[in-house]
Amino acid sequence: MLEDIALGDFNIKIDPESSFWATGDNKRIEAFYSGIREELIKEMKDFRFNRELILLYVNPTDRCNASCPYCYLPSKIKTRQKNMSYEELAEIAEKAIVYFEEKGIKGSIVFHGSEPLLNKENIFKIIEDYNDNINFGIQTNGFLLTEEDVDFIKDRAVNTGISLDSPDRKINDYLRGEGHHSKILEALDWFDGYSALNVVTTITGYNMTQLADMIEFLHSHKVSLSLMNPVRGTQRASMAFRPDPLKIAGEFIKAVDKSIELTKTGRRIVIGDFANIILGIVAPAARVLMCDISPCGAGRRFFAVSAEGSSYPCGEFIGMEEFSGGNVFSDSIGKISSSENFRKVMERTVEGIDECKTCNLRNICGSPCPAELYSSEGSMYRKSYYCDFYKKVVEYAFRMIINDDIWYVLRRSALIEKYKII
């Protein structure tokens, strides 16, 4: 029932099926856990296999004004130059609203890329017209942002992610394009601590030693949420940018340490990816980011729509037609989400991966990313390229929890509200 696991210089007992864990007297732990095991396993299964869609990622254009060398989109997609019309975007919004209302929720649409602001006029009009009925987000490289755009975003409470890969101008602009660094600095001044802003850093071999500096840089510009994602090898070119997993683990942990140091000064900055790992240990069903859950959120909690309407389990699968669930202009959201091609991804679990099925951390890590593994290894049923990264970071997270330092990463009030026990 409970397995012994050594994490560096300390030991814990864990049930990999529920992710319950404890340290201390074995008999007392076993006696306590036997009374709650069934409930916790049910909670974990309900969370893992919940197939209620809550979000659509919509690419309103195939075009992009940057040429990031590790881009996850196939070049054939970006050369189509397709822009969605207002009417096409409205059709998606209206279908989504009807679908979500039938489920009794206010769902979300995130305008993603290529670069969504190349279709700025249409997506801003959609936000203006449908903001009362659906939550909106934008993920942008930031090149086209103006001060007026930022005012529009803030006035309508649009969740916004902008990209920045390095505090160093030369490194960032090599990865993101000439002039990108100075443009993002300008945009951060306009956002001025906007609470619904996050900054996304794609970790590569070029910037991995600068993660802690990036946190300090973002904190100085009033950013409270950083997302630091290791680059995915879904395209051949991007595979060359994947860093050594153990090396980035050390650099990522330095960045977490820096975020805690700065949070202790009185103004919080959180690395969302690490916060999600902490949640995976202390409150698994409270996790928000879906990549490190098995099965992941692709097709299950969200799906992606390309500019010509084809739907894929997530953006990383765009262009892989064997995973297309249909076209949003000719098929219902329900039909797409229940398609056989989506089911392929939704049925991929750690229990089906030889290298993962006996790992005691399997339901904390989730072995991402199926699209990356399918593209680089020929099968989704392989362990994550970043397996060693996750092991080291999870070990560090356990140590932080045992030392009672997690409140610099999580908000105590949120867990009290959900579980009533902390």
Instruction: Enumerate the domain spans of the chain.
Output: 1-49, 52-340
Yes or no: is domain 52-340 CATH 3.30.420.140? Answer: no
Report the pLDDT value the prediction gives residue 78, as an integer from 0 to 100.
75
pLDDT in tens, 158-173: 999 999 999 999 999 9
Write the DSSP string, 357-415.
TT-TTHHHH----HHHHHHHHS-S-S--TTHHHHHHHHHHHHHHHHTT-GGGTS-HHHH
Q: Which residues lie across from 311 on neighbouring strands? A: 305, 326
Report the pLDDT value the prediction gives residue 75, as an integer from 0 to 100.
80
CA-CA distance, 221 to 159, in Å (whole number)? 18
Contacts for 233 with CB less than 8 Å, ≥ 6 apart: 239, 242, 372, 375, 376, 385
* pLDDT lower than 50: segments of the chain: 420-422
Report the pLDDT value the prediction gives residue 79, as an integer from 0 to 100.
76
Query: What single-letter DSSP state applies at residue 13?
Result: E
pTM for this entry: 0.95
Report the pLDDT value the prediction gives residue 161, as an integer from 0 to 100.
98
Report the pLDDT value the prediction gives residue 177, as an integer from 0 to 100.
96
Report the pLDDT value the prediction gives residue 414, as an integer from 0 to 100.
56
CA-CA distance, 71 to 118, in Å (whole number)? 17
